[in-house]
Structure 1
Amino acid sequence: MTAGEILILAALGTPLAAAGLALVFAKIRDVRDTVTIVAALALTCVCVALLAETALGRPPEMRLAEPIPGLSIFFRLEPLGALFAAMASALYLLNSLYSIGYMRARREPRQGRFYACFGLAMCAVSGVALAGNLFTAFLFYELLTFATYPLVTHKGDETSRRAGRLYVLLLGGAAAALLLPAVATIQAMAGSTEFVTGGLLAGRMDALPAGVLLIMIVFGTAKAALMPLHAWLPGAMAAPTPVSAFLHAVAVVKTGVFLILKCAAGIFGPEIIATSPAAQGLLWTAAATILIASATALTRDDLKERLAWSTVSQLSYVISGALIAVGAGVVGGGLHMLTHAFGKITMFMCVGAVYLAAGVTRVSAVSGLARRMPLVFAAFLVGSLSVIGLPPFGGMWSKFLLITAAFGAGEPVTAAAMILSSLLSAACFLPIVISGFLGEPGEAALRSGPVRAPFLTVLPPVITAAGCFGLFFIGDWVMTYLIPIAERAP
C-alpha cells in the first residue's frame, strides 16, 4: 500500500473512528470532547498532507471496491478536491472547539450523538472531496444527508422536526429523482463516471442531451440550494448555531457546490457548457437566485435567518462560476467556495457567541452591544467585509475573478447580479456592526453584570477572521493551484 493510499484511508477512517468513540464515551464528557478535537486535528493534518502531495504533482488515487460491475468506489485527488478537503477539515477543527464551548454553555442534551454525527458527516465530506468518479461522490453525498439529519433535528421540538422533514425530503428526494438517474445515464452512455480533464462527455454527447443531464445534476444536487430547491436551508436554522456553521461553511452546502464544480469541469467540460442552452438557462436561474436571496436577507430581522438567505445567494456565485464557459469562472467558483466558507463561519460563530452572552437573536436588538463585546463584533465585521467582497480580505479576489469572468464570457446579466448582490450584502451586514458599536444601548447592552461569551466560542471566530485576512494574500497562489481543473479536453 502506497503512502497516498494510506492518506486516503486515514481521511475517511479518522472521522469515522471519532464518530464511534463519541458514542462509546458519550457520558464521559472530557474524554468524548478530547477525542473529537484530537480526531479533527489528525484529519486536518492528513488533508494538508494530501493537499501538499497534489501540489507537488503526486496526486494519490485508490480503487477501494467494485460493488457493481463497471461501477467502482474510486478515489483520485485533484486540486479542487484537495483544497476542499483541507478547507473542510480545518474548519471542522475550529467548529469542534466552538461546539464544545457552545454545547457545554447551553447544557445541550444528546451531545454524544451530536459529535458522532459530526464525525460521520466529515467522513462523508472527505469521501466526496476525494472521489475519483461521480458514483463514489453520489454514495458519500447521500451519506452526508442522513448523517446531518440528526443535527438539524437536534433540539427535538416541532420546529426542528419540521425542518428535518423538509431537509430530507428536498435533499434526499432530489438526489433520488434526479442525481441518481443522471449517474446511471452517464455510466450507460460513457461506460464510466470518472472525472476527466476536459470533461468525460466531451466528444461523446451532443449539447442538447448533455444539457438535460446538466439540469438533472444541478437540481439533483439540492445541497447547493439553487432556487427553487432552497427552502431547506433557512429552515435548517432551527438547529443549534454550531450546526448552522457546519452546514454553511464546512459540510453540506459546500459539498453541493463542490460537486457541481467537479461535474462542470470533469463530466461536461467547457465545450459542452459553452454550447448548451441548458447551461445558459441555469446561469440565469443562478443570477436570479443571487438577487432574490440577497434581497430577502435584507428583510429578515433574525440574525441566523439573515445569514442563511445570504448563503443561498453566495452559493449561486459558485454555481455561476461553474456555468460560465471560461476557465476563470471555474477557478473563481473554487476560490469563492473557500473565501465564503471562512467569512460565513466567522459570522455564524459570532452570532452564536452573542446569543450565549446576551440572549440576542435579532438584528433590531444588537444596538450598543458591540461596546460590551468588541472582539466578537470586530470578527463579525471582518467576516462581513470578506463576504461583501472588499479588500483586504479573501472574498475580494473570488468576486473579482467571477465578475471579470462573467463579463469576459459575454454574461453581463450575471456580472450585474453579482455586483448588485454585493451592495445588498453591505446593506445587510454593515448596519449590524454600526448599530452594535454606535447605536443607543438597547436592553441587552444595558443589562447589569458581564456580557461575556465562553472563551471557546470567541477564539474560533477570531481565528477564522484572521483567515479571511490571510486569504487576501494567498489568493494568487490558490488561483494558480486551481488552474488545472479548468483545462480543456486534449
Structure 2
Amino acid sequence: MEAITSATPALAVLVSLVAAALILLTGRHPNLRESVSVGASLIKFAIVASMMPTVLAGTLIEFKVVDILPNLPIMFRVDAFGMVFGLTASFLWILTTLYSMGYMRSLEEHSQTRYYFCFAIALSSAMGIAFAANLVTLFIFYELLTVSTYPLVVHSETPEAMSAGRKYLLYLLTAGVFLLFSTIAVYFYTGTTDFAFGGILEGHDIPVNIIRLLFITFMIGCTKAAFMPLHSWLPTAMIAPTPVSALLHAVAVVKAGVFTAVRIILYIFGVNLMQETGLALAMAYFVSFTIITASIFALTQDNLKMRLAYSTVSQLSYIVLGVCMLTPAGIVGGMYHIVNHALMKITLFFCAGAIFVATGKKNISDMGGVGKFMPITMLAFFIASMGMIGIPPSIGFLSKWFISLGAMEAHQAFFAFVMVASGILNAAYFLPIVYTAFFNKPKEGEQFTEAPMIMVVPLLITALLTLTLGIAPQGVYTLLLHALQQVMP
C-alpha cells in the first residue's frame, strides 16, 4: 500500500503536549489557561482532520521518530482504523474541554491547573495510541495514558479517591507488564513489532500453544478494555470528577484499551490465525460473558455514575465481539461501535455531571422530578439511552445491527442472541432512570434549573449526533470500509 512521509501525525500528538506546558505557565490566569486548552483542542482536531483526505484516498501517512533497535523504531502511521479513533478522540476533546470549564468552575474545584494539564497529556497519549505504527510506540503512549490519568482519578484527594487511585495503578500498570512481555515475545519470534494488515505472526514457526498463550497475555495487557474479571478498577474510578469519567469512558482510556485489543487481534494475529487457532471463537464467548454479566451488575446500582460504569464494561465488549466474528459486517460493526459508544456514553456522563452540578444528586432514587426542572438535560439522556438500547434511528442501532449480522454471517446465532439479550438488559437499567426523572414527583419545595449553558450545549451536541450519525457521513463509512479491506484476507 502506498505511503507518504509526513510529520502531521507527530504534530497531532505534540500539540497538546505543548498545550500542557502552556497550561502550567498560565495557571494563575484561569481565562487564559482555559483558552489555551480550548485552542489546543481545536488545533488538534484540525490537524487530525487534515489527514482525512489522504487516508480516504487509500494512502498511509508515516513518520519515524527514532530507531531504538534494528527494525524497532518509535514511529507513527495513520491508517483508516487509527483515523477512526483519532477523529473521535480529538473531536470529543473539544466538547469535554468546554464542559469541564463549566463543571470545574461551578463546583469551585481545587487544583484546576493540574486537572487541565493532565487532561492535555492524556489526549496526547490517546493520539499516540491511535497513530502508533508498532507495538513499541503503542506501549509507550499506553503507559503514559495510565500515568497521566492517575492524578485525574485521585483529584478530590479524599481517602476514598486515593484508594481508588491505588487500585487504578495496580490494575493498569500490572497490565502494562503483560503488554510489554507480549511485545518482547513478538519481536523475539518475528523480528518486528510493526502492525501489518494481515497480522505478523502467521508464517512464522511458532507453536500453536505459544500463540494461544501470547494472545492471553496480550488480552491481560488490554485491561483498559475492562474485560471481566479485570474490570473492577473502572467502577472504582467513578470517584473522579464527572468530566474525568467522560474521559475514562468515552474519549481516551477504555477506548484506548479496546482499540489496542482490536489492533492486536487484526494487525498482530490476523484474521486467518485467529480463525485457525480457535482464538476468535473463544474470545467471543469470553466477551459475551462480560456483556451479559456487566449488564446485570448495572441493574443493581443506584448511583448513576456506577450504573453507567457497568454499562461501559458491557458495551466495550460489543466491539471485540464484533471483530471476533471475523466477518465483514462484524468487523465494521465492532469498529463503528468505537465511535458510537463514545458519543452515547459521553452524553450520558455529561448529563450525570449536569444533574450533580444543578442538584447535588448522585443516586437515581433521588432524581424524581429532575426532568421537570432540567428538560434539556434529561431529553439528551433519553436520546443517548435509546442509542445504548439500540433503538433506531440512533447510532447504537446501526453498530448493534452490524455486529448481529456479523454473527449470522459467521453462523454463530448465539452471539446475535447475546446482542438481543443485552439490548433488553440495557432497557431494563436505562428506562427506569428516564421514568424516575420525568414521572416521579420531586421532593416538596424542591426547585432547581439547568446547569450552566457551557455544560448543556456540549451534551446537547453529542445527543443530537447520536441521531444524525445514524445516517453517518460518507467519510465515516469509507474509513470503515478501508479498514475492513485492509484486514480481511
Q: Could you state the TM-score of these two structures normalised by the residue count of structure 1?
A: 0.96
State how far apart, in whole Å, the 2-side matches of 1:122 and 1:395 are: 25
Number of the residue aligned with 1:243: 244
Structure 1 SS opposite 2:212: helix
Number of the residue aligned with 1:350: 351
Question: How do 1:324-403 and structure 2 match up within 5 A?
Answer: 324-403=325-404
Judging changes above 3 Å, is the alpha-carbon distance between structure 1 residues 18 and 7 closer, same or farther for their aligned structure 2 residues?
same
Shift of 1:207: 4.3
Q: Check conservation: 1:329, 1:401, Cα contact below 8 A.
A: yes
Shift of 1:477: 5.3
Cα deviation 1:300-340 (Å, max 9, x = unaligned): 00000000000000011112123222232222111001100
Query: Which letter does structure 2 place at the counterpart of 1:379?
Result: A
Matched, 1:187 2:187: yes
Shift of 1:183: 0.4
Match 1:486 to one of 467, 470, 484: 484
State how far apart, in whole Å, the 2-side matches of 1:346 and 1:229 are: 25
Q: Check conservation: 1:397, 1:475, Cα contact below 8 A.
A: no
Shift of 1:480: 4.0
Q: Check conservation: 1:265, 1:486, Cα contact below 8 A.
A: no
Structure 1 SS opposite 2:7: helix
Shift of 1:412: 2.8
Cα deviation 1:247-272 (Å, max 9, x = unaligned): 00000000011111111111111111
Shift of 1:221: 0.8
Number of the residue aligned with 1:200: 200
State how far apart, in whole Å, the 2-side matches of 1:475 and 1:363 are: 35
Q: Check conservation: 2:4, 2:59, Cα contact below 8 A.
A: no
Q: Check conservation: 2:195, 2:268, Cα contact below 8 A.
A: yes
Shift of 1:59: 2.4
Number of the residue aligned with 1:89: 90
Number of the residue aligned with 2:462: 464
Structure 2 SS opposite 1:67: strand
State how far apart, in whole Å, the 2-side matches of 1:68 and 1:124 are: 22
Q: Check conservation: 1:274, 1:324, Cα contact below 8 A.
A: no
State how far apart, in whole Å, the 2-side matches of 1:479 and 1:210 are: 33
Q: Check conservation: 2:344, 2:463, Cα contact below 8 A.
A: yes
Q: Check conservation: 2:331, 2:406, Cα contact below 8 A.
A: no
Query: Which letter does structure 2 place at the counterpart of 1:468?
Result: T
> What RMSD in Å do the two structures reach over aligned CA positions?
1.7
State how far apart, in whole Å, the 2-side matches of 1:126 and 1:356 are: 30
State how far apart, in whole Å, the 1-side matches of 2:191 and 2:413 are: 38
Shift of 1:171: 0.7
The number of residues matched between the two structures is 485
Matched, 1:163 2:129: no
State how far apart, in whole Å, the 1-side matches of 2:413 and 2:162 are: 42
Structure 2 SS opposite 1:349: helix
State how far apart, in whole Å, the 1-side matches of 2:45 and 2:77 are: 18
Number of the residue aligned with 1:297: 298
Matched, 1:418 2:419: yes
Gaps in structure 1 of 5+ consecutive residues: none
Query: Which letter does structure 2 place at the counterpart of 1:474?
Result: A
Cα deviation 1:117-172 (Å, max 9, x = unaligned): 01101111000000111111111101100010000000000111111111111011
Cα deviation 1:89-139 (Å, max 9, x = unaligned): 100110000000000001111111100001101111000000111111111
Q: Could you state the TM-score of these two structures normalised by the residue count of structure 2?
A: 0.96
Query: Which letter does structure 2 place at the counterpart of 1:117?
Result: C
Shift of 1:403: 1.1
Matched, 1:447 2:462: no
Question: How do 1:14-413 and structure 2 match up within 5 A?
Answer: 14-176=15-177, 178-204=178-204, 205=206, 207-413=208-414
State how far apart, in whole Å, the 2-side matches of 1:52 and 1:155 are: 43
Judging changes above 3 Å, is the alpha-carbon distance between structure 1 residues 95 and 489 closer, same or farther for their aligned structure 2 residues?
closer
Q: Report % sequence identity.
A: 39
Shift of 1:476: 6.8
Cα deviation 1:418-437 (Å, max 9, x = unaligned): 21111111111112112211
Q: Check conservation: 2:9, 2:78, Cα contact below 8 A.
A: no
Judging changes above 3 Å, is the alpha-carbon distance between structure 1 residues 198 and 486 closer, same or farther for their aligned structure 2 residues?
farther
Shift of 1:4: 5.9
State how far apart, in whole Å, the 2-side matches of 1:247 and 1:405 are: 28
Query: Which letter does structure 1 place at the counterpart of 2:200?
Result: L
State how far apart, in whole Å, the 2-side matches of 1:188 and 1:486 are: 28
Structure 2 SS opposite 1:458: helix
Query: Which letter does structure 2 place at the counterpart of 1:197?
Result: F
Shift of 1:359: 1.1
Structure 2 SS opposite 1:62: strand
Judging changes above 3 Å, is the alpha-carbon distance between structure 1 residues 489 and 457 closer, same or farther for their aligned structure 2 residues?
closer
Shift of 1:63: 1.0
Bigger shift: residues 24-33 or 476-485: 476-485
Q: Check conservation: 2:291, 2:317, Cα contact below 8 A.
A: yes
Q: Check conservation: 2:7, 2:63, Cα contact below 8 A.
A: no
Shift of 1:35: 0.3
Q: Check conservation: 1:15, 1:40, Cα contact below 8 A.
A: yes
State how far apart, in whole Å, the 2-side matches of 1:31 and 1:191 are: 48
Shift of 1:3: 8.9
Gaps in structure 2 of 5+ consecutive residues: none
Q: Check conservation: 2:48, 2:87, Cα contact below 8 A.
A: yes
State how far apart, in whole Å, the 2-side matches of 1:185 and 1:168 are: 24
State how far apart, in whole Å, the 1-side matches of 2:105 and 2:128 are: 30
